[in-house]
Amino acid sequence: MLYTEGFRDYIIILVLLDTGLRVSELCNLKRDNLWLDEGMLKVVGKGNKERLIPIGKQVQRLLWRYINRYRPEPAMASYDFLFLTRKGKPLTKDRVEKIMTCYGRKAELKGVRCSPHTLRHTAAMKFLRNGGDVFSLQRMLGHVSLEMTRRYCELADIDVKRAHMTASPVDNLALRQSGNHSRFRRFGRR
């Protein structure tokens, strides 16, 4: 089986960006908890709580490719982890952090932290910007309260403006356009 760390790292970044997983959840992801045909993965999060998270079609396709062409053989039969080192051992949280830092340096990123947690925040923001709802995001991120989700997703003013442009209650009314607004003029005068 062909193995390249670059392809594995690429998949890791895309999985983090598509799902908003915590780095510990990614590292503990087992092959048995990945349902590619259904486009879902089962994660064990904080408090040992399980949740199902959908994955996009591109990530499904790339994960299939990683598993069938690039994933190394596990060093031990008990290592059913999805992401492994070249030697077939499970990736650790620290190793994934170092991978992300390394790619941040290679990309010459300045003034921004390049980490799995940054991708979690980016995933949350992109999900909302692309039309996702906050309740689905809450479940995906594994937050008990909406308050915690809100902390990740405080939208910039431009996002609120863009959302209002499409969801404006008045702009979406079928108002008649007529030149006679005289009955409303009296409200503006005193």
- 78 lies in some domain: yes
Flag residues of the chain having pLDDT under 50: none
Give residue 183's Cα distance to chain centre. 51
CB 82 within 8 A of CB 64: no
User: What is the tens place of the pLDDT at every residue in 16-29?
Assistant: 999 999 999 999 99
The verdict on whether 117 is a catalytic residue reads yes
- 186 lies in some domain: no
- 134 lies in some domain: yes
Which pLDDT score, from 0 to 100, does residue 156 have?
A: 52
Which pLDDT score, from 0 to 100, does residue 120 have?
A: 92
Which pLDDT score, from 0 to 100, does residue 96 have?
A: 97
CATH number of the domain within which 152 lies: 1.10.443.10
Catalytic residue, chosen from 31, 42, 51, 117, is 117
- 67 lies in some domain: yes
The verdict on whether 49 is a catalytic residue reads no
- 105 lies in some domain: yes
Catalytic residue, chosen from 8, 22, 70, 71, is 22
CA distances 93 to 25, 27, 172, Å, are: 9, 6, 47
Number of domains in the chain: 1
Q: How many residues does the chain have?
A: 190
List strands edge to edge, sheet with 40-44. 34-35, 40-44, 50-54
State both tokens at 83: 């992401």
The verdict on whether 120 is a catalytic residue reads yes
Domain that holds residue 31: 5-166
- 155 lies in some domain: yes
CB 99 within 8 A of CB 12: yes
Amino acid symbol at 108: E
Which pLDDT score, from 0 to 100, does residue 153 have?
A: 67
Which residues lie across from 74 on neighbouring strands? none
Which pLDDT score, from 0 to 100, does residue 158 have?
A: 62
Residue with tokens 């790339």, as numbered in its chain:
62
Catalytic residue, chosen from 51, 113, 120, 150, is 120
Which pLDDT score, from 0 to 100, does residue 188 have?
A: 53
Which pLDDT score, from 0 to 100, does residue 165 have?
A: 78
- 127 lies in some domain: yes
The verdict on whether 79 is a catalytic residue reads no
